[in-house]
Amino acid sequence: MQIAEPTAGAPCWVELGTTDPDAAKVYYREVFGWRVETDPRPEAGGYTMLSLAGAPVAALTPLYAPGRPTAWTVSFATRDADASAAAVTEAGGTLLNEPMDVFDLGRFAVLADPSGAVFSLWQARSFAGAAVFDVPGSLGWVELATPDPEGARVFYPRVFGWTVNTGETYTQWGIGGADFGGMSPLDERYPSDTPAHWLPYFAVADVDATATRAEEAGGTLLVPPMDVPGGPRVAMIRDPQGGVFGIHRAGAEK
């Protein structure tokens, strides 16, 4: 990731909504060494900050609506959550949760692109988002899996002003040419019932060792460690409750 700090239009935060927050706290602490701190206020709804050497890197929460699957959600920074939410719907996306204030921390909204991939908007006030990126244990890349790559190449630049770097086999997203993520078509490599989604990749020092630790802690290797041609070493993992995330070698997504 070439974005080193929360930047308008770029990913700034990731949250795991899970069926079992207590088990997830243990699992991710074992995999990434994250420190967990749950907000004790009843109105915080069990929101738990995940940090690395004192720096916030992600969060986890209970599932606030019945029937929702355990999943990671990527948040993109914006200077105006209401205006960005309006831009999303005008471009063909769907508003799932109206913009709302979160204490004095910021303002957020939950939306889906035209293919159904869910993401959040975050307008920072006292909390900007992740304090570090692309160091071991932090967010290093985000990837959209979609059945409509051509539509996504129109939608996201229109909404966020992203630059699009399209190679022979892979499209990368950026802000002013500084790439932070990519796009994968939902093709025969995925199970037929896989919905469009955003997937976070966390940077690690050793993909193989982290994948082994994740499996021993109760996770499932969906994609065992492999070298991407012309890219980094990666793996894809499902946690014990079903949340899917990727890992890649830190510093390789430059």
Q: What is the pLDDT of residue 2?
A: 83
Of 126, 131, 1, give the one whose Cα is nearest residue 53: 131
Tokens of 172: 């990368």
Decide if 11-124 and 139-249 have a common fold: yes
pTM: 0.95
Q: Is the pLDDT of residue 254 over 60?
A: no
pLDDT digits (tens, 9 = 90+) for 31-61: 999 999 999 989 888 999 999 999 999 999 9
- Three-class DSSP category at 247: strand
**Helix or strand run (H / E) with residue 150:** helix 149-160
What is the per-residue burial (b if ≥16 Cβ within 10 Å, else e) of 195-221? bbbbbbbbbbeebeebbebbeebebee
Q: Which CATH architecture has domain 11-124?
A: Roll (3.10)
pLDDT digits (tens, 9 = 90+) for 155-183: 999 999 999 998 877 899 999 989 999 99
- Three-class DSSP category at 103: coil
The rounded mean pLDDT for the chain is: 94
Helix then strand then coil, % of the chain, to nearest 5: 20, 45, 40
139-249 has which CATH code?
A: 3.10.180.10
Domain ranges of the chain: 11-124, 139-249
